[in-house]
Structure 1
Amino acid sequence: MYPARSGVVTFSAPQSEYNKQNYVVVILDKQPLSVSVDSGTARFFVIYGKWFESVYGEGSCEELKVACYFCPAENPCDDIGERSRISASYGKYEVYQYVQHRGTLDLGQSTIPLTFGLV
């Protein structure tokens, strides 16, 4: 992954069976997360694990191809219900609602602050 001057992060991933499906592993707040890299939207968001498991059952995040993000103790998101929700179009017909969260993205040799969405 390489940070660009514009603040955009680009991913450099070798071809493998894993990333032929558009999945890469990123490290957010020290959590390795499998995410789908897609051009359906310019926004970057991940599934909020606490919410997902409250709806689909404990351990349901483990069944996903993409990983759930759980807010760590050093970067809590207890106020998530009070945050403003943002709607984003994805592809032609889908709309996601998310809240913004600030964390860190590990780039290997450095770690940078990153604002991302929690769905």
Structure 2
Amino acid sequence: MPVKGGFVTVNLDGQRVNLLLDSNFFEISVVDGDWYERAYGEGACRKRQNSGCYFCPEHAPCDFDNDSSLSTTRFDGGLVIRTISRSGSLELDGQNVDLVFKVSRPVGSNRDAGPQALFGISLLPKGPDQIEGRESVLDSLVRGGVIGRPSYTLRTNTSQVSDFASGQLALGGKAGDNYTFLKLVEDQRRKAGSSEGGIGWKNQLLEIDYDSRSYAATM
């Protein structure tokens, strides 16, 4: 799967969506396309390549007022995001798997801030924070027989001029694969996010130190 500037392209319910790759997150989250085009104008989802827009079908519209899965998140500065869960089909390499994903939009028509569409490659948290009844993207792909185990390999380009990696993402590596693991050091010069067993590009500041053209993380 190609990674361009930190983004991957997936087919979700027949819609091509660009999502920011995130190893601190375990689900797929998309932006409500109806809200996005009300805020930025008709056709904005198509014009803005990484908008992360998803349009709920007319026969099963998204209900951000009464859906039983509705959750509301409030941020500093007054931003309020509403999120609902949807069941849909993810297609990867010609194979389909049914899974649950998130659709989000701000309250009102705030153009200055909004949710980020994400493709999570983390596993569910373990221990007391274990989330009952939910499944990570990787676990969904294993359940559907698309991949053999919940792991990923990210092979980056030899030179990077951006905070966001570009290269190739492979999901579900084999047990005998040889990996070069990262040394992660706290630093303020490069923006990246980390999670147990993963690397990403969100929240935390880290320096990535590696001596190979490829790196990987397994969970």
Could you tell me the TM-score, scaled by structure 2's length? 0.38
Aligned partners of 2:62 and 2:80: how far apart in 1? 24
Instruction: Please state whether the residue corresponding to 2:101 is helix, strand or coil.
Output: strand
Aligned partners of 2:26 and 2:62: how far apart in 1? 27
Moved more, 23-32 or 94-103: 94-103
Instruction: Please state whether the residue corresponding to 2:42 is helix, strand or coil.
Output: coil
Deviation at 1:64, TM superposition (A): 4.5
Aligned partners of 1:27 and 1:78: how far apart in 2? 19
Which residue is equivalent to 1:114? 99
Instruction: Please state whether the residue corresponding to 2:34 is helix, strand or coil.
Output: helix
Residues 40, 64 of structure 1: alpha-carbon distance in 2 compared, 3 angstrom cutoff:
farther
Alpha-carbon contact 2:13-2:88 (below 8 Å) kept: yes
Residue ranges of structure 1 left out of the alignment (5+ in a row):
1-12
Amino acid at match of 1:60: A
Alpha-carbon contact 1:85-1:99 (below 8 Å) kept: yes
Instruction: Please state whether the residue corresponding to 1:104 is helix, strand or coil.
Output: strand
Aligned partners of 1:63 and 1:20: how far apart in 2? 15
Count of aligned positions: 98
> Deviations along 1:18-51, whole A, 9 cap, x unmatched?
x252111110001111111123433320011011
Q: Tell me how large the CA RMSD over aligned residues is.
A: 2.7
Amino acid at match of 2:51: V
Which residue is equivalent to 1:101? 86
Residues 69, 108 of structure 1: alpha-carbon distance in 2 compared, 3 angstrom cutoff:
same
Alpha-carbon contact 2:70-2:82 (below 8 Å) kept: yes
Amino acid at match of 1:38: D
Aligned partners of 1:64 and 1:80: how far apart in 2? 25
Which residue is equivalent to 2:57? 72
Aligned partners of 2:82 and 2:65: how far apart in 1? 12
More helix as a share of residues:
1
Deviation at 1:78, TM superposition (A): 4.5
Which residue is equivalent to 1:41? 25
Could you tell me the TM-score, scaled by structure 1's length? 0.65
